Structure 1
Amino acid sequence: MATGYRPEWVQGAFVDFIESRLHPFWSLSMPKIRLLARHRLSDDLIALRFETNRAFRQQALRTQEGWQGGQYLNVSVALAGIFHQRSYSLVGLPEHPLWWIDDSTKAKTSKNPLRHTVTVAIKPQGLVSDYLTKRMPIGTTLQSSVPTGSFTLAQASLVKETEHNQLAPLLFIASGSGITPMLGLITEALHNGHHVILLHYNRTILLQSQWQQLATAYPEFTYHLIDTADASTYLAGTRHLTADSLLTLDLSLAETQIFACGSRALLTSLYNAAAQITLPDGKSLRDNIIVESFGTNFFDATHEPTLNKESTAPPQTVYLRARQRQFSSDTTLLAAAEKAGIRLTHGCRQGICQLCRCHKISGVVKNIQTGKLSHDGNEFIQTCINVAVTDVVLDV
């Protein structure tokens, strides 16, 4: 039975093309953001507030209530005719006022609710970040993803309670700009009623006013801002994170979920500290750690060799089923493929943006950030932070 005339050219892509010519912010299916304002959080951290288009809001609200603390945006920026993609952590939560928005700003934006905006925090370094934080005109429109990422409270299965029928305590550990995903995470955790402790290691004290406001509003929140150049701020008498640093905290570590984000040195220190702490019933503190890192050169707590482009591991064969190609891998799957002249989809190359995520059909891989081995069956992995331990088949 005929269902009516449907010309093939009337497709979403065609509508998007027409709308983009009428107005660069309009799109039927493509999430876009438009720069509204910048706010300096510190000398080396800038917050950028964006208005979201209708496609962004529809897609974000279809999968979840806006977004979760700890997630990020993939943003595409055209510079000199070349598109660059970067990932930036979201600050705050949907419909949650940011601490620097004063009453006058709220009044001006009352017709555009906060849920129609997103804010990211950026460290002005590198080609793209420098442009976004210093030179991009207000009102510029960018293509973006919807909020994404698994560095969230939900990842830790926090619905379970402690043996005392209380919500599990949470410890957030960050260094440098690794503090940015913690802003939304901690706010969400406090709203949910968790006991929260923050450790932030940095060259200067950052966001002290914000943390003090939260501590005043939530007595169950404690924070320690460690200025690595000021001995009076140290925990356990050291500028570094150690087992003694963790043991000085008022926490039952066996029941505590740890979120960590920062440099290789911080994550290495955390895993080494966790290995030195004995928990009851044969439990390992390492199993309580969830990591979001800014680099792949990560030393495992077992002191195994770090794997990067220059180092080697026993070579394994990687099969790309869809392409009917194969290559030998003695480093990360992404680097080995590129060495063999095979281009795989990727973004940040640091395990953050998830663009390199693909389906592993069989074989065992090792995550070079956490040291964890995968199982031998079907699962999704990231090629930029995994090395082949056995022969591997990827659905690529």
Structure 2
Amino acid sequence: MANGYRPEIVQRAFVDFIGSRLHPFWSLTTPKLRLIARYELSDDLIALQFETNQAFRQQTLNAREGWQGGQYLDLRVFIDGVYHQRSYSIVGLANQSLWWQDDAAATKSAKNRRHTVTIAVKPQGLVSHYLTKQLPLASIIDTSMPLGHFTLAQAKKSSDRTELDNQKLNPLLFVAGGSGITPMLGLITQALANGHQVALLHYNRTELPQLQHQWQQLSDIYPAFSYHFIHTDNPATYLAGERYLSAEGLLSLNLPLANTQIFACGSQALLAGLYKTVNEINVPQNIQLRDNIIVENFGSALPDFDIGGNRLLDNALQTESHTVYLRSRQRQFDSDTTLLVAAENADVRLAYGCRQGICQLCRCNKVSGVVKNIQTGKISSDGYESIQTCINIAMTDVVLDV
């Protein structure tokens, strides 16, 4: 027997199996969440607070800070005999209080803050509606550990391309549309605490008084923070007189755009509008502002379909139409958007999960044809390979082994 080797007489998996039969929340290895509260942040945004089990806490403690602002959880929810997996942004940081609670509630929960995690959910779609409207309090669901790279670590990778002091942190601009604000709640607080200059643009169709109160509090604490809430139906809130993102609006922020890292999260139209806007702004030294953008996709954003990389489409949803063949089903449909969306538009049902290229549930085999990954810009080969339908568009006619 090798020196130092100690056989595990009782397997942890066996202990987990027995423990789960005694109490479903208990596990040494599987992270689980128990719903303990719901908070209505607006008419279309609900925060769900969960108690975490020992496995979640232990693995989070191993990550030192718990989790980073901008990360998300993959939840596995059992509805009508079927498991569904969806991704939801984590609100805030592990040691951060929940600003929408009253003082008494915040004080009471302070001691146990490390034992809870909160996500924000827009109650649309099967799983989101179930979580916000039907899931009973004290229900237990399986979860992943915090995931994702939409974090401040991305900002640290940006190079200092001017003669600015190398020790000076780059300014950060956060551009959010609708519920795309949720991953930014922790990111912005973390960025301000780290000493970044931060500006926020949030476009939304309804008022969000609680969030606006939070931004005002941060603005009072951090002089380096500025925020603009643009209610798209209220001209008094428009930036530079424009309802949507524009070059004039970005320039009015008086940021050194060549050195500003831009975090963006929102709809397909908002992301495409951002890329189009920065393409219209000239900066010195031939810097490409689009290279400063870090995107967290909600849905399938199509910021750029041109293979040469020299053109942006005004319409985020359309490119040249191609035919997609489903070999096993002997079906076909035309596609001028992501393969998944095009199939659904043609009343063809394909497997999917998060719709963001994260969960892998939509993965299938491509027999032939060229596709483009809308997140990485990578162009595939013309041969057999595994692809995800939610984040790939057809660049030629495509045959799928589905």
Residue 265 of structure 1 and its aligned partner are, at CA, apart by: 1.4
Once the two structures are TM-superposed, the CA of residue 121 in structure 1 deviates from its matched residue by 0.7
1:73 aligns with 2:77: no
Map of 2:149 onto structure 1? 150
Q: Choose which of 193, 197, 200 in structure 1 pairs with 2:199.
A: 197
Which residue of the partner structure matches residue 45 of structure 2? Answer: 45
**Aligned counterpart for 1:281 among listed residues 282, 285, 295:** 285
> Alpha carbons of 1:389 and 1:203: their partners in 2 closer, same or farther (altered >3 Å)?
closer
Contact 1:73 1:144 in 2 (8 A): yes
1:184, CA displacement in angstroms? 0.8
- Do the aligned partners of 1:262 and 1:294 also contact (CA within 8 Å) in 2? yes
1:384 alignment partner, SS class: helix
Q: 1:248-271 CA deviation, whole Å, 9 max, x = no partner?
A: 112011111111111111111111
Q: Could you tell me how far apart the structure 1 residues matched to 2:315 and 2:282 are?
A: 25
- Per the alignment, do residues 382 and 248 of structure 1 end up closer, same or farther by CA in structure 2, a change over 3 Å counting? farther
Corresponding residue SS for 2:183:
helix
Partner of 1:129: 128
Q: What fraction of aligned residue pairs are identical, expressed as a percent?
A: 61
Aligned to 2:29: 29
Q: CA deviation at 1:204?
A: 2.1
Decide whether aligned partners of structure 1 residues 120 and 134 sit closer, same or farther in structure 2, where only a CA change above 3 A counts: same
TM-score by length of 2: 0.80
Matched, 1:366 2:376: no
Change (3 A) 1:104 1:246: same
Letter in 2 for 1:176: G
Gap change, CA 1:330 and 1:154, over 3 Å in 2: farther
Q: Does the aligned pair in 2 maintain the 1:161–1:167 contact within 8 Å?
A: no
2:95 matched residue in structure 1: 95
Letter in 2 for 1:245: G
Q: Deviations over 1:153-205 (max 9, x none)?
A: 11233575574222100000011111111101111110110000000011123
Deviations along 1:308-346, one digit per CA (max 9) or x if unpaired, are 8x9744889xxxxxxxxxxx99965778999xxxx9985
For the aligned residues, what is the CA RMSD?
A: 4.0
Residue in structure 1 matched with residue 261 of structure 2 by the alignment: 257
* Alpha-carbon separation, structure 1, partners of 2:272 and 2:296: 13
Aligned position for 1:320: none
User: CA shift at 1:86, angstroms?
Assistant: 1.3
How far the C-alpha of 1:273 sits from its partner, in A, is 0.6
Deviation at 1:34, TM superposition (A): 0.8
How far apart are the structure 1 equivalents of 2:137 and 2:324?
50
Q: Which runs of 5+ in 2 are unaligned?
A: 305-310, 326-331
Bigger shift: 219-228 or 33-42? Answer: 33-42
- Which segments of 5 or more consecutive residues in structure 1 lack a partner in the other structure? 317-327
Do 1:261 and 1:294's aligned partners in 2 also have CA atoms closer than 8 Å?
Answer: yes
Q: Which residue of 2 aligns with 1:325?
A: none
Cα distance between partner residues in 2 of 1:5 and 1:43: 55
- Worse-matched range after superposition: 137-146 or 190-199: 137-146
Could you tell me which residue of structure 1 aligns to residue 392 of structure 2?
386
Task: Check the 8 A contact 2:268/2:316 in 1, yes or no.
Answer: no
1:390 is displaced (CA, Å) by 9.5
> C-alpha separation between the residues in 2 aligned to 1:136 and 1:117?
18
Cα distance between partner residues in 1 of 2:84 and 2:146: 18
Separation of aligned partners in 2, 1:305 and 1:179: 23
Q: What secondary structure, in the 3-state scheme, does the structure 1 residue paired with 2:17 have?
A: helix
**Residues 56 and 118 of structure 1: CA distance in aligned 2, closer, same or farther (over 3 Å):** same
Tell me, yes or no, if the aligned pair for 1:160 and 1:167 is still in contact at 8 Å: no
- The answer on whether the counterparts of 2:98 and 2:106 sit within 8 Å (CA) in structure 1 is no
| 2:188 aligned partner, one-letter code | I
Instruction: Tell me how far 1:128 sits from its aligned partner.
Output: 1.8
- Give 1:238 deviation, angstroms: 1.5
Match of 1:209 in 2: 213
Partner residue in 1 for 2:313: 303
Q: What do the CA deviations read for 1:228-284 (whole angstroms, capped 9, x no partner)?
A: 111111012111111111111120111111111111111111111111111211111
Q: Is the Cα contact below 8 Å between 1:45 and 1:121 reproduced in 2?
A: yes
Instruction: Tell me, yes or no, if the aligned pair for 1:292 and 1:352 is still in contact at 8 Å.
Output: no
TM-score by structure 1 length? 0.81
Conserved in 1, the CA contact under 8 Å of 2:35 and 2:140?
A: yes
Matched, 1:294 2:276: no
Residue 225 of structure 1 corresponds to which residue in structure 2?
229
Indicate conservation of the 8 Å contact 2:372/2:380, yes or no. no
Secondary structure of 2:390 counterpart: coil
1:161/1:214 CA distance change after superposition, 3 Å: farther
Structure 1 counterpart of 2:353 = 347
C-alpha distance in structure 2 between counterparts of 1:276 and 1:13, whole Å: 57
User: Cα gap change, 1:162/1:15 in structure 2, threshold over 3 Å: closer, same or farther?
Assistant: same
CA contact 2:97–2:110 (8 Å) conserved in 1? no
Distance 1:176 1:78 in 2: 27
